[in-house]
Every structure is written in C-alpha cells, then in structure tokens.
Copies of this chain bind each other. A is one copy, B any other.
Amino acid sequence: MRRPCSFNRFTRVASWFVMICLFAALLGTAGRLAAQSDPLPSWNDGAAKKAIIDFVEATTSQGRPTFVPITERIAVFDQDGTLWVEQPMYTQVLYCIDRVPALVRSRPGLVNVEPFKTVLTGNREAISKLPKEELEKVLFATLSGMTVDQFQADVKGWIDSTKNPRWGRRYTDLAYAPMLDVLKYLRANGYKTYIVTGGGQDFVRVLANDVYGIPPEQVVGTAGGVKYGYNDKGKPQLMKEPKLLLNDDKAGKPEGIHLVIGRRPYAAFGNSVGDRQMLEYTKAGSGARLAMLLLHDDAKREYAYGPAQGLPDSKVGTFTQALYDEALKNGWVVISMKNDWKTIFTFEK
C-alpha cells in the first residue's frame, strides 16, 4: 500500500514542479517572441525596416558565413538630421549664437566687429545668411577659452533651459523615435553604437548618454584642441583652444573613425553628403554591411529637403540627387521618413 501512495505523491510534486517550469519557460518564450515580433515598433513594415532586421540576423546568427564576433560589432550614426532634427539650423549653431551676448560682455571689443555685430541684432534671417567663414568665427570664439568642465556645465544649462519654437520642446526631445529603436535593437544584439558627427565632439558628449544611451567615449565628432594646464589654485585643468584637430565631416568621418575607434564599422547611418565617405568606407568591408541614408520627405511631421527627388534644396543637411543615385547603385538603403516611420518623436506616442 505504501509504494503507490508515496509514488503518487512524489509524481504529484514532480508534476507541479514540471508544470511551473513549463509555465515559466512559456512566459519567457512569449516575452521573447513579442520582442522578436517587432524590435522596431516606430517603423512601418517595408524595405528599410527589413534591411535592418536582415542585417542583424545575418551578422549575429552563429554559423552563418556573415556572422560577426560580438567584439567586432560596431555601428556608427551621424547625429544632425540622422538622430535628431537639424532644421532650420544645427542645434549647436543655435547654442553658439545664444552664447554671443555673454562673449561680448567678456570681450567688449567685439561689439562692433562682424560677424558678432550681426549676431547681436538677433535677426535670424540675417544670421542665417552669414557666409560659412564668418559663422566659423562665431563657433571658434564661443567654443573655446573656457575649461572643459565649464563648457560642459554651460551646454547642460542651455539644453535644460532652451525650447525649440516649432514643437515647444527641448532640443534633446527632438531625437527620432525610430532611430532610438535602431540603437536599442543593435545594442541588444551586441553592437557598440557610436555617434560620428560633424558637430562638436565636446558638445554632443554632454547629451549623448541621456538622449541615446551612448557614453562620451563613443562619440566621435569635430574636435578642437585642449591644453593641459593649472588654474590659479594649482589644480589641473583642460582649456578648450581655438584650434581644429579633426574636421569630422566628409572624408574626415572615416579618418575620425580610424582615430577614435580604429576599425571599420559594420553599419553606418547618415542623411547628407557629409556622410557619403563614412557609408562608402563601411560598405567596402567584407561580409554583410549596412549603409542607410535618411531622406527628409515629410514636411508635415518634420521637414522636407534634398534637393534629391525634387525636394527643396537646403544648405543644412544637403542630400543631393547624385548621393541618392549612388545609394541605389551601391546597395545603400534610403529611408523615407514619410513612408518608413510610424512615429517621429517619442513624445507623440
């Protein structure tokens, strides 16, 4: 009599255990399936979304000839116009313009000197017409002459207190939700994500971690020199100098990637002629490589500019027809903001 009894009880305990395990496993699988079913929820189904998912599967599935070891998984992203809004003017240029009054207070000799005089009028149209060389004088003057720590604190203060007039939101809220999806998806698959921007390296590093989850050491950008020295209390400091070390634009992008990262990326995302060489360099590697360009063709939800595909011309973030044709010829994927993106910003959700 004892054997069937104990066996019965033992079986029952074991069955509970097995059922609990199965249930937990099912829950886990369901969770994973749900995640797998849409790793890019802000994207509409289409060729662009499929290209990203296919690339990740090709490079992360063990046994495939295109498999990439986890330590070599590097993906690079332009920032202005690729990760966040760049129109009607690059965010960092707006920051520099806003710094001019304080600069002139500390150096009153500049008050009647161009281009500072024009900037001080606050006339945005006149400012936007300043020639590139004049604008560069404003950038050099407002991005140097302080310690790295002072600069970081000042940028942080500006970001927290300044709103974009069109959306009434902080500039850092204007990061694109679909690109945040891509960053997360790539990182979940072992990719190290880098920003490779024509914007200032020191500027972007202040916000990259909070906005994109990208730490300072994974931001490559246009870099000015810094000079090591001591303050009047003898404490070491790094002063920002008006000296260009790396112009991280066009050919400067693969050069900057070599300087800071030291190896060729597997995926590159851009949106303008400034990104052409970075995409070309990425695609020239062996195996599966992904090169994508965002076309801003959505005047209603964001902006429309090219001049590719008959879109209005733009000095900021120029996307020429030649670039568009090169993309098609080389197997780069063009993302249509209008058709491929379900939502543009996280705050719309």
Residues of A at under 8 Å CB distance from B? 1-2, 5-6, 8-10, 13, 71, 74, 148, 192, 201-202, 205, 209, 215-217, 219, 223, 225-229, 235-236, 238, 245-246, 251-252, 254-255, 258-263, 277, 280-281, 284
**Contacting residues, chain B, for A260 (C-beta < 8 A):** 217, 259-260
When distances are taken between beta carbons in the complex, the residues of chain B under 8 Å from A258 are 148, 226, 238
User: Could you tell me the distance in whole angstroms from the C-beta of A114 to the nearest C-beta in chain B?
Assistant: 32
For A1, A215, A245, A281, which residue has the most chain B Cβ atoms within 10 angstroms? A215
Nearest CB of chain B from residue A244's CB, rounded to whole Å: 11
Asked if B5 contacts A217 (CB within 8 A), the reply is no
Residues of B within 8 A of A8 (CB): 6
Whole-angstrom distance between the alpha carbons of A227 and B277 in the complex? 12
Q: How many copies does the complex hold?
A: 2
User: Measured between C-beta atoms, what is the minimum distance from A34 to chain B in Å?
Assistant: 28
A262 to B148, CA, bound (A): 10
Q: Pick 24 A–B contacts, CB within 8 A, sort by A.
A: A1-B1, A2-B5, A9-B9, A9-B10, A71-B215, A201-B259, A202-B262, A205-B262, A216-B261, A216-B262, A217-B260, A223-B259, A226-B258, A226-B259, A227-B255, A228-B277, A229-B251, A236-B281, A236-B284, A238-B254, A238-B255, A238-B258, A245-B245, A259-B260
CA distance A13 to B10 in the complex (A): 8
B236 touches A255 (CB 8 A): no
Q: A5-B5, A13-B13, A217-B261 are in contact. List 14 more A-B contacts (CB 8 A).
A: A1-B1, A5-B9, A10-B10, A10-B13, A148-B258, A216-B261, A226-B258, A227-B251, A229-B251, A235-B284, A236-B254, A236-B277, A236-B280, A238-B255
Contact call A254/B235, Cβ cutoff below 8 A: no
* A52-B10 Cα distance, complex, nearest whole Å: 53
A223 to B307, CA, bound (A): 38
Counting from the closest, the 6 A-B pairs by CB-CB distance are A216-B262, A6-B9, A228-B251, A236-B284, A217-B261, A228-B254
Nearest-neighbour CB distance to chain B for A32, whole angstroms, equals: 25
Q: In the complex, what residues of B have CB within 8 A of residue A5's CB?
A: 2, 5-6, 9
**Residue of B with least CB distance to A229:** B251
State the CA gap A71–B213 with chains docked (Å).
11
A280: chain B residues within 8 A (beta carbon): 236
Question: In the assembled complex, how far is the CB of residue A240 from the closest CB belonging to chain B, in whole angstroms?
Answer: 10
Query: Please, which residues of chain B bring their CB within 8 A of the CB of A228?
Result: 251-252, 254-255, 277, 281
